Structure 1
Amino acid sequence: MSMKIPFLKNKQSKELFHYPEDNIPEHISIIMDGNGRWAHKRGMPRVAGHKEGVSAVVKIVKAAVKCKVKVLTLYTFSTENWKRPKPEIDFILRLPKEFLHIYLPDLIANNVRIEVIGDRANLPAHTWEALQYAIERTRHNDGLQLNFALNYGSRSEMLSAMKEMFADVNDAKLSLADVDEKRFSEYLYTAGMTDPDLLIRTGGEKRLSNFLLWQLAYTEFWFTDVLWPDFSEKEFLRALEEYRKRKRRYGGI
């Protein structure tokens, strides 16, 4: 796929990257951690780290398109993040609108399709309206699927899925005999998607933080101490190279 637009070009970089062509993860999920610490180290307010983190999103979307990844899921705002100070929450939830205002034409030109996973009910109107517009504008694209996990919590997702499934059983729309892992997955936010092949977490922490707990059952994990705003195309390719060395057995030999 040829690159068509400025945001997918790297005019300033003098590095020549090797983009692998085989054994590419079909679905990559990323816990984008370290924005606040990045800002603190520089004597800046935490929101400065979140703003800088948008630049990293642009770089990694670019790299995912170049590597022909099919699905990229970014942990953008968790159900637990509501515990943060209100000014920080408000800033974070304005970022999707600002990001899409600048980059949506580029994403459309590069055949990227945007989706959202999470509980949309509590999102501010300006956040959801911007995302809904982007979802509609990119609905027919069949390149990289870019998922923003917003107001997402995996335990909440699974409880909601169980309630919906039990309601369907009670209404005779579903038989208990038909309930298996595949059917349960159809009630999750990620219905219709493959499970992640690779999870990347930046910022040095080694935990899942209530992210895709069902879907990550057989996912390969890759952790780095690099804080998210500093996470580069080079680091992304390092993760892919590590993934390509691993042998996935799924419980077999």
Structure 2
Amino acid sequence: MQGWLERRVQSLYEQLLRTDLDEVPTHVAVIQDGNRRYARERGDAVTNGHREGAETTEQVLEWCEELGIEELTLYAFSTENFERPADEREALFDLIEGKLREFADADRVHENGVCIRTLGDIERLPDRVQEVVDYAEERTREYDSFVLNIALAYGGRSELLSATRRILQQVEEGTLSPADLDVETVESQLYDRPVRAVDLIIRTGGDERTSNFLPWYANGNEAAVYFCTPYWPEFSKPEFLRSIRTYQHREQAWQRTRLSRALTLVKGLGDTRTEEARRILEGSNDVPDVDGVGPALPVEDDADSA
């Protein structure tokens, strides 16, 4: 009876959170932290924590598709993970190999048009993992409905450093002029296919840091960040929805700031132009008060208070 009641309460809470959302991020990046701690606190082998975490990953994919999120990036294996004990590394490689092949062959991946891509220094991985990476990417290359990026042997600084070296080489060879260097040039050296700017980073496990994850696409876009205490295997749908609400509140706060600045600028153009600008901007209810131009609105904190 208690189990049924708990499930019912959680279902109602999920519905409440869902109705509170009217916009979702396009690209969500997740740092899946806490698999090992989850297993150790339960007296299990570390590999069991990673396996349960893989089940959470599949659920998150479903939630993203349900909400209309278009791109998901998972921090699956960092360059620092190479320092872990050999037996743990091999178990992780086995899990990655098996799950990637499973995803590549899954009917729902092909039915939903999921494009699987990997980010990172893939050549550092064992041959068997590189082979399944090629297999998964090739099988889903033509899909564009949803993008699943899996960061393997990944490090944000090393990624930027490698791109910089390639650009310098082009300059030295005379195929690129320093005057032509722009954002598109850098992005073309990061990945062979475009990656959307990151709108939201989620980190589980209690640590409040982004671990140098996707610095070009996240920091450059000033992505919202949601830290939560559950370990990755415990990460739930209500927690996911709260992270989306954090993003939404951040976007609304930015919109109010932009409107406030715009109205402040047009205030100096004269009453007629100010009124005209006000009518244009009043498509949103979030028109701030600028010397009596519009109603005052409270400024919400970027962080989710729940």
With structure 1 as the length reference, what TM-score do the two structures score?
0.88
Residue 168 of structure 2 corresponds to: 166
Residue 229 of structure 1 and its aligned partner are, at CA, apart by 0.5
Per-residue CA deviation, residues 182-214 of structure 1 (Å, 9 max, x unaligned), is: 322221138512210000000000112231122
State how far apart, in whole Å, the 2-side matches of 1:27 and 1:134 are. 21
Native 8 Å contact 1:96 1:131 kept in 2: no
Native 8 Å contact 1:68 1:144 kept in 2: no
Task: Call closer, same or farther: CA 1:151–1:137 in 2, change over 3 Å.
Answer: same
Residue 231 of structure 2 corresponds to: 227
State how far apart, in whole Å, the 1-side matches of 2:171 and 2:46 are. 47
Per-residue CA deviation, residues 74-113 of structure 1 (Å, 9 max, x unaligned), is: 0000011101001111111111222134343231222111
In structure 2, the gaps of 5 or more residues are: 1-6, 262-306
State how far apart, in whole Å, the 2-side matches of 1:117 and 1:206 are. 23
Residue 83 of structure 2 corresponds to: 83
Task: Give the secondary-structure state (helix, strand or coil) at the position aligned to 1:77.
Answer: strand
Is 1:53 aligned to 2:21, yes or no? no
Task: Call closer, same or farther: CA 1:132–1:191 in 2, change over 3 Å.
Answer: closer
Give the alignment's Cα RMSD to 1 decimal.
2.0
Larger radius of gyration: 2
Residue 112 of structure 2 aligns with an amino acid whose one-letter code is N
With structure 2 as the length reference, what TM-score do the two structures score?
0.74
Task: Give the secondary-structure state (helix, strand or coil) at the position aligned to 1:116.
Answer: strand
**Which one has the bigger helix percentage?**
2
Residue 102 of structure 1 aligns with an amino acid whose one-letter code is E
Task: Call closer, same or farther: CA 1:190–1:245 in 2, change over 3 Å.
Answer: farther
In structure 1, the gaps of 5 or more residues are: 1-12
Aligned pairs, number: 241
State how far apart, in whole Å, the 2-side matches of 1:49 and 1:94 are. 14
Is 1:213 aligned to 2:215, yes or no? yes
State how far apart, in whole Å, the 2-side matches of 1:229 and 1:190 are. 32
Residue 144 of structure 1 corresponds to: 146
Please give the residue correspondences for 1:70-219 in structure 2 after superposition, counting only pairs within 5 Å: 70-103=70-103, 104-105=105-106, 106-189=108-191, 192-217=194-219, 218-219=222-223
Native 8 Å contact 2:224 2:246 kept in 1: no
Higher RCO (CA 8 Å, separation ≥ 6 residues): 1
State how far apart, in whole Å, the 1-side matches of 2:70 and 2:86 are. 35
State how far apart, in whole Å, the 1-side matches of 2:102 and 2:232 are. 20
Per-residue CA deviation, residues 40-80 of structure 1 (Å, 9 max, x unaligned), is: 11011211111110001000011011111111000000011
